[in-house]
Every structure is written in structure tokens, then in C-alpha cells.
Copies of this chain bind each other. A is one copy, B any other.
């Protein structure tokens, strides 16, 4: 008997703890994203259904489908499964064939089983009988049973009239389905922390609106780095348009540089948040996300934060990396496959290190802002290039 994996079992975690109504909305969202992901990757499938707190996807390319689905936000894990009837004889016959295909010789094994619905046998009977049958029929493999810490496990899930048998589980990215929360404006600077901050919030169900302040003038390194980051991260998003606002910012940083570096950095950060708020309003987003880390670089001074936050009072600024250090965040960026720049905040060429700003008062800052001759946030956004990084698919 040859076995064929014809479906994917998709597990989702946190959705399960919500109210019934929320749960239904979220599992439907997730099913929709799965459909789009499979279409985008040209993976054939015939049916996607939500039942018993799992999603089943019928596909002749179940192994490829399981991998693609595992990187959709909200998915805890996936397994390509072999489908058979919910009779003990079918389970035993198919179970032995699956074990024959995937078990390695000389290793220990165990059988896992769970059941939902009415059947003439218990889960424990599946475990005992399939275990005995595998030992008997695959005696050439020299297997042994080990329930405590087996080298390999075969699982049987029986649901009403069908049984799903599998040995492989692909870990998913977790989080919540995209669109279960509103859009957020993610300021991306090309460094690791702003990209990781965006990923973490996207993973909670938010659609990003990317915002790049292009201080680089003719050099395209910054733009290329950010572009590659937002393209890689946007691939996690299905069924929503993902936009990048590329704001020309060289003129503004030139004006700021005339103020001296301490004032320049504070004003720059205030100005950046104000532009982000303008984008937030235009895109009807709910929050701004930054990669700020306390105590790292010139953005990390906690004392400055108050001066900076004052500029956009009332708009939520999420700081998911506030408690991280640069080593952790860089590591996470590498794991996400992102290429990053360091010291991107110096792209303007003004600052090397923030000086002593204890003398700087909010009054002097506001005065400097008024006389610096900078564009208004609306004017800056009007001049920005808006790129569709990734189009909605259906």
C-alpha cells in the first residue's frame, strides 16, 4: 500500500481562547489567508474547512502546502496528513503504511491518538492496536516502543467519519490572523530594531503602513535596504494592500543640521513622529510603531522621550523593542532573514552622539521648530512617493 498525503491539518492557538463570535471571525480570516497563500504559491487545493477548532485543507501537494501555511500569522503548526476512514481496520492498515514510509530503523516510537465523535473504539485502543501492528508488520525495522521519550511518533486524529494520520509537524509563526487588528504606521530606518518591532506588531494581527524617511540623497543604499526589508516582511500579509511612504527628508535634515546636533536630533525625532501621525490619519491607522530601545544609540535616552512624545500627544506609539538590547534584536532580524544596516540614524550626517541636552527646554525647542523653516507634516507627506509594496490578493 502506498500512502499519499492529501490534506493539511492546521492548528491555531490563541484564537481558541477568544469569545465564540471573535473565534469564528478569526478562523474565517485565517482560512481566507490560507486560500490566498496557496493560490499565490501555485499550490493546488480543493477545499478549506474550519471544524472542531482546526482548519483542514485538501491538497494533492500537502507537504508544500503545510510549509507555506506554517508562515501565516495565527498558525501554531501544520501537519500534512494521510486521510482514511474512521474504522479501526482502515486506521491500522494506513497507520502501518505511514510508519513504513517515514520511520527510521533501530529507533523507538510511540502512537498518539485523539478522537472526536462517536466510534466503536477508544483512543487508547488505537494506540495499543496500532503500536502492536507496527511492531509486528515492520519487524525488519527493528523498532521498539518508548512512551516516555520516543525517537519518532505517529499520530492518529479521528473526527466523525474520517481519520487523519501523520508523523510530521511544521512549527508555525503563531500570533493572530492579519486584519484581526487595525493598520499601524511602522517607521523603518533600515536597522534591525525597527524591522523587528514591525514584525512583532504585524504578528499580532496588524497590517503595516511602511514609512521611510529618506535622508540619503543620491545614495540608494538606505532605500535599497529598507525596500528589501519591507518586501520580505510584507510577504507575511495576505488580502491587504501594503503601502510604503518614502518621504524625501534630505532637505529637512539639512535645515536641522544648522541648529547644532543636540537640538537637531530632538527636532528630527519630533518631526518624524508628526509626519508619522499625518500618515496615520490619512491611512486611518491606529498606532505608530517604532524600534526604540531604551539605552541604545541616540534614540535611547529616556529623558528625551518625554520631549519627543510631547510632539504627538494623544497618538499611541508602540515600542515593542523598548526592553530589548541590540544583540537580541539583531539575532531576531537574522532569523527573519532580513539584511540590516547599523547606525542608520546617522544617515543624516548630523549627529555622532547626542550631547548634553539638560539645558534644552521645551520652549526653546518649540521656538527652534518655528524658525527652522521646515515643511509641515502634511507638506512632507504630500511630497512622498507612495509605493504599493504588495497588492491585495483574493
Contact = CB atoms under 8 A, between A and B. Distances in A.
Interface stretch (A131-139, A210-218, A308-316): A308-316
Given A200-B323, A204-B294, A326-B14, A286 B315 contact: no
Interface of A: 13-14, 19, 174-176, 180-182, 184, 197, 199-201, 203-206, 286-287, 293-296, 300-303, 305-306, 308-310, 313-327, 353
Contact of A305 (B175, B286, B305): B286
B197 A323 contact: yes
Q: Which applies to chain A's interface (DSSP): helix, strand, loop or mixed?
A: loop
Nearest to A353: B19
A245 to B, nearest CB: 19
**Residue of A295, A310, A353 ringed by the most chain B CB atoms within 10 A:** A295
Contacts of A197: 323
Nearest to A304: B286
Given A204-B295, A294-B204, A310-B314, A305 B287 contact: yes
A182 B14 CA distance: 36
Contact of A306 (B13, B287, B296, B310): B287
Given A197-B323, A294-B318, A323-B197, A206 B286 contact: no
Contact of A309 (B316, B321, B326, B327): B316
Contacts of A316: 302, 305-306, 308-309, 317
Contact of A295 (B205, B313, B353): B205
A98 to B, nearest CB: 30
Contacts of A181: 294-295, 301-302
Contacts of A318: 294, 319, 322-323
Given A14-B325, A181-B295, 7 more contacts: A175-B325, A184-B302, A204-B294, A204-B295, A286-B306, A309-B314, A320-B324
A287 B175 CA distance: 28
Copies of this chain per assembly = 2
A174 B325 contact: yes
A95 B300 CA distance: 43
A19 B352 CA distance: 10
Nearest first, the 10 A-B pairs at minimum CB distance are A200-B323, A313-B313, A320-B323, A313-B314, A204-B294, A305-B316, A309-B316, A286-B302, A310-B314, A320-B322
Contacts of A308: 316
Contact of A287 (B205, B287, B295, B302): B302
A260 to B, nearest CB: 18
A288 to B, nearest CB: 10
A294 B183 CA distance: 12
A14 B287 contact: no
A308 B294 CA distance: 23
A7 B319 CA distance: 40
Contacts of A205: 294-295
A179 to B, nearest CB: 11
Nearest to A181: B302
Contacts of A295: 14, 176, 180-181, 204-205
A30 to B, nearest CB: 13
Nearest to A200: B323
Nearest to A13: B327
Contacts of A353: 19
A216 B112 CA distance: 44
B324 A200 contact: yes
A266 to B, nearest CB: 13
A188 to B, nearest CB: 15
A60 to B, nearest CB: 33
Contacts of A204: 293-295, 300, 322-323, 325
